[in-house]
């Protein structure tokens, strides 16, 4: 039987010790995964500890592949394949994605740009999505409130980007979101702290049961 593999991708600038919500919830997902799959393996891609280079003209030129690549282009192609192969080899995926300045962390966007440049993730000619996962989740942490009735409605440009972009490589993301993560410890946001605790509790519960037998 194939060993189940959970690929964990972190992009929060804060550590778990610094109260990173996405990292703490990703830890919870890992615990649940190993409880459900004692023989499973967890592989971590920390985009802060090892930040990917931003997608540049060299990386773009490397997409043509073949034996005419320059040494720099070959290096860029190898990096894209390394990232994409981690997804290909995984059974399940969990991504931690805090909302930074209303968008995804730049490291997460750069990582994805390299992934989608690899034919391992998307066929170079037909653009067919090549990644097949059993489950995929993105843990979203928003410092404020971004719901339909809020002042920042429509300002979250990260979640929609992630949901749509990952389908291009064959990954359908389930969103696990926590809002008002800045509320605890800030007096001016005290009236909204209950929103954070409510969302956090729901997220903890969802992740705790995410990998149980029969879970979607």
Is-contact 10 44, C-beta < 8 A? yes
Measured from the Cβ of residue 166, the count of other Cβ atoms closer than 10 Å reads 24
Query: Does 214 score more than 70 pLDDT?
Result: no
Mean pLDDT of the chain: 96
Give the tens place of pLDDT for each residue, 166-175: 999 999 999 9
Beta bridge partners of 10: 46
Domain count within the chain = 1
- DSSP letter, residue 96: E
Q: Is residue 214 part of a domain?
A: no
Q: How many CA atoms lie within 13 A of 214 on its CB side?
A: 0
CATH number at residue 164: 3.40.50.360
* pLDDT score, position 2: 87
Q: Is residue 13 part of a domain?
A: yes
Q: Is residue 216 part of a domain?
A: no
Beta bridge partners of 46: 10
Q: Is residue 213 part of a domain?
A: no
Q: Is residue 171 part of a domain?
A: yes
Q: Is residue 187 part of a domain?
A: yes
Q: Angle 193-208/21-36 helices, nearest 10 degrees?
A: 20
Q: For residues 151-173, give the mean pLDDT.
A: 98
Give the tens place of pLDDT for each residue, 99-115: 999 999 999 999 999 99
Is-contact 109 29, C-beta < 8 A? no
- Domain range for 182: 5-208
Is-contact 45 83, C-beta < 8 A? yes
Give the tens place of pLDDT for each residue, 42-101: 999 999 999 999 999 999 999 988 889 999 999 999 999 999 999 999 999 999 999 999
């Amino acid at each position: 039987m194939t060993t189940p593999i959970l690929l964990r991708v972190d992009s929060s600038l804060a550590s778990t010790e610094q109260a990173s919500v996405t990292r703490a919830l990703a830890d919870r997902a890992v615990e649940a995964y190993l409880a459900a799959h004692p023989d499973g393996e967890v592989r971590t891609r920390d985009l802060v500890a090892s930040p990917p280079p931003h997608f540049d003209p060299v990386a773009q030129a490397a997409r043509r592949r073949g034996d005419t690549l320059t040494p720099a282009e070959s290096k860029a192609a190898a990096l894209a394949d390394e990232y994409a192969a981690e997804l290909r080899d995984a059974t399940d995926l969990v991504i931690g994605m805090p909302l930074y300045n209303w968008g995804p962390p730049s490291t997460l966007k750069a990582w994805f740009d390299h992934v989608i440049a690899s034919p391992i993730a998307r066929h170079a000619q037909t653009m067919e999505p090549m990644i097949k996962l059993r489950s995929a989740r993105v843990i979203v942490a928003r410092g404020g409130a971004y719901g339909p009735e809020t002042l920042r409605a429509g300002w979250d440009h990260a979640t929609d980007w992630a949901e749509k972009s990952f389908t291009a490589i064959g990954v359908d993301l389930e969103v696990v979101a926590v809002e008002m993560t800045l509320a605890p410890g800030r007096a001016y946001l005290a009236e909204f702290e209950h929103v954070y605790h409510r969302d956090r509790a729901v997220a903890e519960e969802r992740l705790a049961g995410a990998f149980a037998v029969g879970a979607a």
